[in-house]
Chain A
């Protein structure tokens, strides 16, 4: 594809997007108005199903099918990351032990902060998942917190420790089981907001850990055969 054709394709796509966006934006209700058609429909439903956090009610009850699609997209992208960033034949992986990113190379203040924040962050993640149906938060937000929290162990200066506390096969299994459980819940047990919250939290956490693990391997361990 020459540069000119590429620009043409980009221009067609860009103009199409601009037209559609403008059409959609002009039909939006006014900013900060008193009429909320969507809110008027979702709010009574959320209260009728005893889910105080309306967003969670929409995500896991009223529009659970949309969330199902999103979950499968996330799983597909985590899977793709694992596949694309696998160690190929021309490369080899160093064992994590060879990387003594240990005490000497990290400031003490950073290490202490990392170790102190780890339990607090994990607790926050569990809280956000568990209270998702009550207060702002939910499976996705909590899952992201949980999935990124364990990387504080690396921030505190130790890659081997991080590799030990996140065995990849366990997280792959967790990811698959949680995604499967969510499909079953979304299709056959509609309205189980708490259970879906928990399952999504597990799935999202595992997906982020897996994807980040592959990036860590590429950044620290994988090298070409010499």
Chain B
């Protein structure tokens, strides 16, 4: 039973990782990355590492996608505000 669970969790992780790579729009990719973070946390729980799963949920599901979204927003904002200026960022 536990081996079936582990294989299922691994397959799900591989599926979500592929989905992240195949999503081309960065903003959508951040959301898919968040989903991948949850699936990875499930894998860690299945492998009996709840402490790591908690870190993974916090960092991989919330903080990293949030930082990516904020960075994308900042870049878009700078580009729409100053269309003529060469933006070096």
B-binding residues in A (CB < 8 A): 32, 53, 55-56, 128, 136-138, 140-141, 144-145, 147-148, 151, 208, 211-212, 215-216, 218-220, 222-224, 226
A136–B71 contact, CB under 8 A? no
Residues of B near any A CB (own CB < 8 A): 3, 50-51, 53-55, 58-59, 62-63, 66-67, 70-71, 73-74, 77-78, 81-82, 85
A144 and B63 form a contact (CB under 8 A): yes
Q: Is the interface of A mostly helix, strand, loop or mixed?
A: helix
- Contact residue among A55, A147, A218, A222 (Cβ-Cβ distance under 8 Å from B51): A55
- Which secondary structure characterizes the binding site on chain B? helix
Supposing A212-B66, A215-B74, A216-B70 touch, asked if A224 and B51 sit within 8 A by C-beta, the answer is no
Q: A137-B51, A141-B58 are in contact. Are A223 and B63 (CB under 8 A)?
A: no
A–B Cβ pairs within 8 angstroms, 9 of them: A128-B54, A137-B50, A144-B63, A148-B62, A148-B66, A218-B71, A219-B73, A223-B78, A226-B82
Number of A-B residue pairs, CB cutoff 8 Å, is 61
6 new A-B contacts at CB < 8 Å, known A212-B63, A215-B70, A219-B71: A128-B54, A141-B58, A218-B74, A219-B73, A219-B74, A224-B78
Contact A144–B55 (Cβ < 8 Å) = yes
Q: List, in ascending order, chain B residues with CB within 8 A of A140's CB.
A: 55
CA–CA, A220 and B74, complex, Å: 7
**Contacts of B53 on A, CB cut-off 8 Å?**
136
A193 to B51, CA, bound (A): 15
Of the residues B3, B62, B81, contact of A223 by C-beta under 8 Å: B81
Is the pair A224, B74 in contact by a Cβ cutoff of 8 Å? no
A52 to B35, CA, bound (A): 32
Interface centre among B53, B66, B82, B85 (most CB of A within 10 A): B66
The 7 closest A-B pairs by CB, nearest first: A144-B58, A136-B50, A141-B54, A215-B70, A219-B70, A219-B74, A219-B73
Complex Cα distance, B66 from A108, in Å, reads 21
Cα distance A212–B58 when bound, in Å?
Answer: 13
Task: Please tell me if the beta carbons of B54 and A136 are within 8 angstroms of each other in the complex.
Answer: yes
Please name all residues of chain B whose beta carbon is closer than 8 Å to the beta carbon of A138 when the two chains form the complex: 51
CA distance A211 to B63 in the complex (A): 10
| A220 CA to B53 CA, complexed, in Å | 32
CA distance A165 to B16 in the complex (A): 36
